[in-house]
Amino acid sequence: MHPMLNIAVRAARKAGNLIAKNYETPDAVETNQKGTNDFVTNVDRDAERLIIEVIRKSYPQHSIVTEESGDLGGEDKDIQWVIDPLDGTSNFIKRFPHFSVSIAVRIKGRTEVAVVYDPMRNELFTAVRGQGAQLNGYRLRGSTARDLEGTIIATGFPFKAKQHSASYLNVVTALFTKCADFRRTGSAALDLAYVAAGRTDGYFEIGLKPWDFAAGELLVREAGSLVTDFTGGHGYLQSGNIVAGNSRVVRDMLSVMRDQLSDALKR
């Protein structure tokens, strides 16, 4: 196994076990508000600490950026770990059992290693660039849909950026006439992992952060599908506006979205 994948898996499992244990003892979970509709718990922070500890032990010189601690830097600027210790915090708080740990390693800006771990189902999604994506050791392949007919499309509502609601809902309405149905699961990292696994045919969301999509993006690509911004380009690295699916589904999603998006979202 790729040595960094080995460490990423160890860190994700440790964090996932901590999250699962705390899920059983809701009284021990302390919730704080970071902003409007934006929550964090002691479990997010503790899981993050565990992950950083595991990485620092093996790779003390690597750079680290995480959701809760921000950019921790590191001597080696070329190798950066991008971490979301608990993706789906609102689900976790509500005891809706769908959340994940997301860990990616970028080398000179390119993602090489990815892990998304769902501790409630013990599902470990992994990828190494050029070596395919796997779920618990089994090779993943994305959806083979030829167009939007019959597709299940996952999405996330822009709950932290409600100024985009109208444009977002226009896209949802337009897509809904063409696809079979939608899913809104509450963990962007798992949304991307599920596209990689072909459990959904496509996915889109506005304004994700690098830790939400860094690992999932590689899973999708290594499963033979695509990740783009809302114009078919790579602007999502800045905008966080993500579309994912096989090339035909992404093509059809983008063509429906094009007419509905405000200028602010065309990136």
User: Quick one: what does residue 118 bind among ligand IPD, Ca ion, none, with the CB cut-off 5 to 8 Å set by partner type?
Assistant: none
Q: Distance between CA atoms of 84 and 45, rounded to whole angstroms?
A: 10
Q: Which stretch binds Ca ion (CB under 5 A): 62-70, 123-131, 214-222, 241-249?
A: 62-70
Does residue 84 bind Ca ion (CB under 5 A)?
A: yes
- Cα distances (Å, whole numbers) of residue 208 to 8, 10, 82, 176, 192: 22, 25, 13, 22, 12
C-beta closer to Ca ion: residue 123 or 224: 123
Please report how close the Cβ of residue 23 comes to Ca ion at its closest, in angstroms.
15
Does residue 87 bind Ca ion (CB under 5 A)?
A: yes
Q: Which two tokens stand for residue 237?
A: 């690295």
Q: Distance between CA atoms of 255 and 249, rounded to whole angstroms?
A: 10
Q: Do 82 and 104 touch, CB atoms closer than 8 A?
A: yes
* Dihedral sign of CA atoms 43, 46, 48, 50 in order: negative
Q: Which stretch binds ligand IPD (CB under 6 A): 7-15, 18-26, 86-94, 167-175?
A: 86-94
Q: Which stretch binds ligand IPD (CB under 6 A): 134-142, 146-154, 205-213, 217-225?
A: 205-213
Q: Is 30 buried (19+), middle (13-18) or exposed (0-12) by CB count in 10 A?
A: exposed
Does residue 67 bind Ca ion (CB under 5 A)?
A: yes
Strand extents, DSSP E, 27-130: 31-35, 38-41, 62-66, 70-73, 76-87, 100-107, 110-118, 123-128
Residues of span 7-66 touching ligand IPD by CB under 6 A: none
Q: Which stretch binds Ca ion (CB under 5 A): 86-94, 136-144, 161-169, 242-250?
A: 86-94
Per-residue mark of binding to ligand IPD, 168-187 (x: CB under 6 A) = ------------------xx
User: If you ran DSSP here, which 8-state letter would residue 118 be given?
Assistant: E
Please report how close the Cβ of residue 102 comes to ligand IPD at its closest, in angstroms.
8
Q: Do 64 and 55 touch, CB atoms closer than 8 A?
A: yes
C-beta closer to Ca ion: residue 92 or 168: 92
Residues of span 96-155 touching ligand IPD by CB under 6 A: none
Does residue 118 bind Ca ion (CB under 5 A)?
A: no
Q: Do 12 and 84 touch, CB atoms closer than 8 A?
A: no
The binding site for ligand IPD (CB under 6 A) comprises: 67, 84, 87-89, 156, 186-188, 205, 208, 212
